[in-house]
Chains A and B, each alone.
Chain A
Amino acid sequence: MLLIECPWCGPRAETEFSYGGEAGIARPADPDALSDAEWADYLFYRSNPKGAHRELWNHDHGCRRWFGVERDTATYRIERSYVLSHTGSDAATGSDAATNAGTGYSSGNGD
């Protein structure tokens, strides 16, 4: 069971959260202008990487806020949680929540 750092509430058990899929998928500004293939790409295709993955989580049994998490899909190690900025689609400018480096509390290896 993952230990997830809610940027507002701190580290909580995974059972308090729900998963919201890959982050950084911006809704097209004008869906009508898209071809079927372009719309399908937005709708169905995800990067599904082995390794670092930015994803959305909702603290739905807590503060009800959506936020971003960067998680390694192979090790499940969580590198950081972050507050979404602007369009939740892009998290690059999001500010980090605590990352717990040095304690291993949330993310496995403590070194």
Chain B
Amino acid sequence: MTAAQPNRLRQNGRIDRTRPLAFSFDGKAYEGFAGDTLASALIANGVSLVGRSFKLRRPRGIVGSGAEEPNAIMQIGEGAAAQPNLPATQVGLYDGLVARSTRGWPGVRFDLGAINDVFGRVLGAGFYYKTFMYPRSWWKHYELAIRKSAGFGQAPEGPDPDRYEHMNAHCDVLVAGGGPAGLMAALAAAKSGARVMLADEQDEFGGSLLAFAASIDGAPAAEWAAAAAEELRDMEDCVLLPSSTVFGYYDHNFLTIAERCAGSPDSSVGGGVRERLWRVRARQVVLAQGSLERPLVFCNNDRPGVMLASAVSTYIKRYAVLPGRRAVVFTNNDSAYRAALSLAGAGAEVAAIVDSRPGGAGDLGLRAQALGIPVHAGHVVTDVAGRRRVTGASIAPWNGESWENVESTIRIDCDLVAVSGGWSPAVHLHSQAGGQLAWDDSQLCLLPAEARQANVSAGAGNGQWSLGECLADGLRAGAETVSRLGLKTAAIRVPGADANAGEKLIEPMWRAPAASDADRCPRQFIDFQNDTTVADIRLAAREGYRNVEHVKRYTALGFGTDQGKLGNINGMAVLADTLGKEIPEVGTTTFRPAYTPVSFGVCAGESVGELYDPVRTTAIHEWHVAAGAPMELVGQWHRPWYFPRDGEDLDAAVARECLAVRNSLGVMDASTLGKIDARGPDVVEFLERIYTHKVGGMQVGRCAYGIMLGEDGMLMDDGVMARAGEQRFYLTTTTGGAASVLSWMEKWLQTEWPELEVYLTSLTDHYSTIAVAGPNSRGLLEKLGCDIPLDKERFPFMTVKPAVLAGMDVTLFRVSFSGELAFEINIASNHALAMWRTIMEAGVEFEGAPYGTETMHVLRAEKGFVIAGQDTDGSVTPVDLGMNWLLSREKDFLGKRSLRRPDSLRKDRKQWVGLLSLDGRTVLGEGTQLVGESGEPAAMCGHVTSSYFSTSLGHPIALALVAGGRGRNGETIYAARPGLEPLPVQIVSPVFYDRKGQRQHV
């Protein structure tokens, strides 16, 4: 052992001693080797205190060696690249790695929160619920304190500089887990011609074979694993994913895999891709994730130095580090004896094996005794001494009764307690997929039962414990998937391996008795990460919690990254004992994704920054950008919001743009409006059913304002429609409704009225629309040169004509969304920018101005034109909006019958009205609640839907939905304003400007 790494063994291990790696933990520098995990490197350096517990702030050490690790949860990296919440057991060591403990403030060695442990008893199950609820006004203080002391690290600030990516993949067989069973299954499937993906969370394939002394076909098992992986890698249709955790199993055999790229041997840290998310659709899945060892439950079983027996073996065999010098091994099954043998072989002293079973172990027990290790059969560890590190264990005889108090009879000095409470198959993915679980009363674990999707479990995850059984079960599972796929199974032999013939069965020992009752003795932990103890579970049961799902939420059992890995079975067993039930009657909590923590970075993949959401821009966009227009996001569209001149702000620019339209000329890019071409022999009949007005009465060349309702009678969308021919219409929708309206129309055509021959085509992107509005708009078009007469007799309001304008083919609409004389120029998108530029040049003479969405909103609000989706919210009928004139009495249309429903006829329905601020200057906030009286409390009677300052009128205007509003014209109501006196407002007509509508007809 070297001074630098005091616990590093001189020989063996799957580490590369020629490649030392520097790293730091909590600011202190250390050294490990390539092939280490952060956990093994910390143990090599004698670091035994790695964090503080979540609630009680107890000092904690490393417990496991894999995904089950509850305590060594680290913050890795610094600054924006930092990642919180990673188990040190799953972080491959790399040069320059910076790690910090995430729980323990200001540091793990001195933690102010440890006072929680002193005030022990008040922090029982449900403590947070019971204590912090009252008084309610104090909650904000509680919350701050809890947030500061809770959590698993800090979210990094600033954009993550690392790259992440997503891969979509399809395969015949996905094998989750690359231990002996998984490798055999993958070989069986791949050799039979199936396209195989094999993923394993470790950076080397082999699973448990890397950590235990075993042989296959006479050679070291790890060599067999390496050869099997090599053989698979060489096959054409086989993808091998090391350092990859299958963390989610979703519907229809869709699985997600997180591949850790940085830190693996092939990619440099900080460059390339840090993590990759594989989204895999697999025809068949083999679940071979192995099993997780359970701790034993006794007093102070969370002290640093209490470690899973399999982890002890793994650290010695795989990483060549010795987690302790003088050990006590505590078990209720044979497997922990291997840890004793490993410890002895590595030069540690095994002071005792404490085995709760009166008969002790099988062959492994004889081997231990041959080495002179004392075995205390029929005994249990009742307590351990030491706070930051175990210093000794108390042992008492056990008569099989968990709840009778006992005095310890033996006390043994030690710095390590290796524990094994048996093994739990990792049934997480099977359960996520909807599969059933069954309790096995002889093996004392949940086994995968009937699967709901196309998956097969194999190996230790299927209750096959010996190496020989695992290999055979893997082959069986692989062959099963092959036959389900309809392929011919290739002949493969099961390699020769031990079958553990001489083992004795596990015996239950769910809670070691103590010197006092379970509720008074030192804490006995079930779930280390969430500080859930035996006493907590018993308290929950006493308070009436019976259902395991409720107990889970009350005690936090299995929360956090644990997700039922360590504490699940022990917790179920203690709950069952307390309730006087059998374990299967209590049942288990539901396993949900993710199996292990998954970073937000890998979930987001490349969908960050500019690629976060698709961006839609109009054909004229580059002009808007050059003009310095800020953009407003409307769905995915980027629309110019306003066009500032000489440093104008929003209000100044909008005031100027509004006056330009009202007094002379304004030009707007309206290209984002949805456009649908509807044609066919039955198009009139179809549109009669969709729109509320009489479509058949429209002459060719006429335009009409149309609205469509849902079958519930509520306004869905609106827009101008034009009859372009006897059997052809041109429909416009709102910008946001373009896709949904098309889908809605298609649904009726395809599912309800297939007898109608109508063809719908979206033209939204093919045509651009330029609105020219204002008294001089006609003059502008004449100046541009138009081949048709534009006067009001020959081209009246609400008509449409094809034309040649400025030498370009256009369709001219005489429609207006501003109330002014206006035209909308529809032009093929390829020519739109040229037309826009031409208009801008010609418009200078009229002092015309481009205007954006804000001015458009003000102009239409002055005229009382509704915007579907702003002034309506899916609960507003056309009657509420005062649009009765649009509802044809002569025909049926979608939603018409609903307008007669009793609810639609209520007198107190909210109706659309205008509002004036009586102080003449306050612009109400959109969404402001309206009340009938100024005092408190007052019943709400409506809300503001649109609100602006009208420069043309010289005062603010607002539109609102008010209960019975149209019958209350002239009435004063009040606008609620947080922190201010309610503002009196007057109900008026929603049309503020040019009430007679004369300006658009000139």
Chain A contacts to B: CB under 8 angstroms: 1-3, 13, 18, 20, 23, 26-27, 30-32, 34, 36, 39-40, 43, 56, 58, 60, 64-66, 75-76, 78, 84, 86-89, 102-111
Decide yes or no whether B283 CB sits under 8 A from chain A. Answer: yes
- Contacts known (A31-B896, A60-B743, A104-B283); A86 close to B486, Cβ less than 8 A: no
The CA-CA distance from A102 to B283 in the complex, in Å, is 11
Task: Flag the segment in B146-154, B249-257, B470-478, B834-842 that touches A.
Answer: B249-257
Decide yes or no whether B720 CB sits under 8 A from chain A. Answer: no
Complex contacts, A23 vs chain B, CB 8 Å = 751
Select one of B453, B454, B746, B897 contacting A31, CB under 8 A: B897
Q: Separation in Å of the B548 CB from the closest CB of chain A? A: 21
CB pair B747–A39 under 8 Å, yes or no, is no
Select one of B254, B284, B712, B751 contacting A43, CB under 8 A: B712
CB pair A36–B901 under 8 Å, yes or no, is yes
Complex contacts, B485 vs chain A, CB 8 Å = 103, 110
Complex contacts, A110 vs chain B, CB 8 Å = 283-284, 454, 484-485
CB pair B898–A58 under 8 Å, yes or no, is no
The CA-CA distance from A64 to B751 in the complex, in Å, is 12
Select one of B251, B283, B754 contacting A2, CB under 8 A: B251
Decide yes or no whether B124 CB sits under 8 A from chain A. Answer: no
Complex contacts, B454 vs chain A, CB 8 Å = 104, 108-110
CB pair A88–B254 under 8 Å, yes or no, is no
Complex contacts, A106 vs chain B, CB 8 Å = 252
Decide yes or no whether B281 CB sits under 8 A from chain A. Answer: yes
CB pair B453–A87 under 8 Å, yes or no, is no
The CA-CA distance from A34 to B283 in the complex, in Å, is 49
- Contacts known (A36-B902, A76-B251); A88 close to B751, Cβ less than 8 A: yes
CB pair A111–B434 under 8 Å, yes or no, is no
The CA-CA distance from A65 to B711 in the complex, in Å, is 21
Chain B contacts to A: CB under 8 angstroms: 250-254, 281, 283-284, 434, 451-454, 484-486, 711-712, 739, 743, 746-747, 750-754, 892, 896-898, 900-902
Complex contacts, A20 vs chain B, CB 8 Å = 747, 751
Q: Separation in Å of the A53 CB from the closest CB of chain B? A: 15
Complex contacts, A31 vs chain B, CB 8 Å = 892, 896-897
Known: A32-B896, A84-B750, A110-B484. 19 other contacts (CB 8 A): A1-B251, A1-B254, A20-B751, A27-B711, A31-B892, A36-B900, A39-B897, A56-B751, A58-B746, A58-B747, A76-B251, A84-B751, A87-B754, A88-B752, A103-B484, A103-B486, A104-B284, A109-B454, A111-B484
Closest 10 A/B residue pairs (Cβ): A88-B751, A31-B897, A104-B454, A3-B252, A66-B750, A108-B453, A110-B484, A110-B454, A1-B254, A76-B251
The CA-CA distance from A58 to B750 in the complex, in Å, is 10
- Contacts known (A84-B750, A108-B453, A109-B452); A2 close to B252, Cβ less than 8 A: yes
User: 17 interchain pairs (CB within 8 A)?
Assistant: A2-B252, A3-B253, A18-B743, A20-B751, A31-B897, A34-B897, A36-B900, A36-B901, A43-B898, A56-B747, A66-B747, A84-B750, A87-B752, A88-B751, A103-B485, A104-B454, A110-B284
Complex contacts, A66 vs chain B, CB 8 Å = 746-747, 750-751
The CA-CA distance from A98 to B484 in the complex, in Å, is 18
> For the complex, would chain A's binding face be called helix, strand, loop or mixed by DSSP majority?
loop
- CB within 8 Å: A-B pair count: 99
Q: Which B residue sits closest to A29, measured CB to CB?
A: B892
The CA-CA distance from A105 to B484 in the complex, in Å, is 11
Select one of B252, B484, B711 contacting A107, CB under 8 A: B252
CB pair A64–B746 under 8 Å, yes or no, is yes
The CA-CA distance from A93 to B892 in the complex, in Å, is 29
The CA-CA distance from A3 to B250 in the complex, in Å, is 11
- Contacts known (A20-B747, A88-B751); A108 close to B252, Cβ less than 8 A: yes
Q: Which B residue sits closest to A85, measured CB to CB?
A: B754
- Contacts known (A86-B754, A109-B453); A40 close to B901, Cβ less than 8 A: yes
The CA-CA distance from A36 to B897 in the complex, in Å, is 9
Q: Separation in Å of the A96 CB from the closest CB of chain B? A: 18
The CA-CA distance from A106 to B66 in the complex, in Å, is 34
The CA-CA distance from A2 to B251 in the complex, in Å, is 6
Q: Which A residue sits closest to B750, measured CB to CB?
A: A66
Complex contacts, B253 vs chain A, CB 8 Å = 3, 104-105, 108
The CA-CA distance from A58 to B744 in the complex, in Å, is 10
Select one of B452, B752, B753, B898 contacting A108, CB under 8 A: B452
The CA-CA distance from A102 to B284 in the complex, in Å, is 12
Q: Which A residue sits closest to B434, measured CB to CB?
A: A75
The CA-CA distance from A102 to B454 in the complex, in Å, is 11
Complex contacts, B746 vs chain A, CB 8 Å = 58, 64, 66
Q: Separation in Å of the B432 CB from the closest CB of chain A? A: 13
The CA-CA distance from A34 to B750 in the complex, in Å, is 25
- Contacts known (A3-B281, A104-B253); A27 close to B752, Cβ less than 8 A: yes
Q: Separation in Å of the A74 CB from the closest CB of chain B? A: 9
The CA-CA distance from A87 to B749 in the complex, in Å, is 10
Complex contacts, B453 vs chain A, CB 8 Å = 104, 108-109
Complex contacts, A3 vs chain B, CB 8 Å = 252-254, 281
Q: Which A residue sits closest to B450, measured CB to CB?
A: A109
Complex contacts, A109 vs chain B, CB 8 Å = 451-454
Complex contacts, A86 vs chain B, CB 8 Å = 754
Q: Separation in Å of the B23 CB from the closest CB of chain A? A: 39
Q: Which A residue sits closest to B760, measured CB to CB?
A: A64
CB pair B452–A89 under 8 Å, yes or no, is no
Complex contacts, A87 vs chain B, CB 8 Å = 751-754
Complex contacts, B254 vs chain A, CB 8 Å = 1, 3
Complex contacts, B281 vs chain A, CB 8 Å = 3, 13
- Contacts known (A3-B281, A104-B284, A106-B252); A32 close to B751, Cβ less than 8 A: no
- Contacts known (A109-B454, A110-B283); A89 close to B252, Cβ less than 8 A: no
Q: Separation in Å of the B592 CB from the closest CB of chain A? A: 16
Q: Separation in Å of the B219 CB from the closest CB of chain A? A: 36
Complex contacts, A108 vs chain B, CB 8 Å = 252-253, 452-454
The CA-CA distance from A86 to B755 in the complex, in Å, is 8
Q: Separation in Å of the A30 CB from the closest CB of chain B? A: 8
Q: Which B residue sits closest to A3, measured CB to CB?
A: B252
CB pair A103–B283 under 8 Å, yes or no, is yes
Q: Separation in Å of the A4 CB from the closest CB of chain B? A: 9
Q: Which B residue sits closest to A78, measured CB to CB?
A: B252
The CA-CA distance from A1 to B249 in the complex, in Å, is 10
Q: Separation in Å of the A62 CB from the closest CB of chain B? A: 12
CB pair A84–B284 under 8 Å, yes or no, is no
CB pair A58–B743 under 8 Å, yes or no, is yes
Complex contacts, B896 vs chain A, CB 8 Å = 31-32
The CA-CA distance from A14 to B264 in the complex, in Å, is 34
The CA-CA distance from A78 to B251 in the complex, in Å, is 11
Q: Which B residue sits closest to A30, measured CB to CB?
A: B892
The CA-CA distance from A2 to B252 in the complex, in Å, is 5
Q: Separation in Å of the A9 CB from the closest CB of chain B? A: 15
The CA-CA distance from A87 to B254 in the complex, in Å, is 34
The CA-CA distance from A86 to B284 in the complex, in Å, is 37
- Contacts known (A36-B902, A108-B252, A108-B253); A43 close to B754, Cβ less than 8 A: no
The CA-CA distance from A75 to B739 in the complex, in Å, is 31
The CA-CA distance from A40 to B711 in the complex, in Å, is 10
Q: Separation in Å of the B192 CB from the closest CB of chain A? A: 15
The CA-CA distance from A108 to B249 in the complex, in Å, is 12
Q: Separation in Å of the B851 CB from the closest CB of chain A? A: 34
Residue among A26, A56, A60, A105 with the most chain B CB within 10 A? A105
Complex contacts, A76 vs chain B, CB 8 Å = 251-252
Complex contacts, B900 vs chain A, CB 8 Å = 36
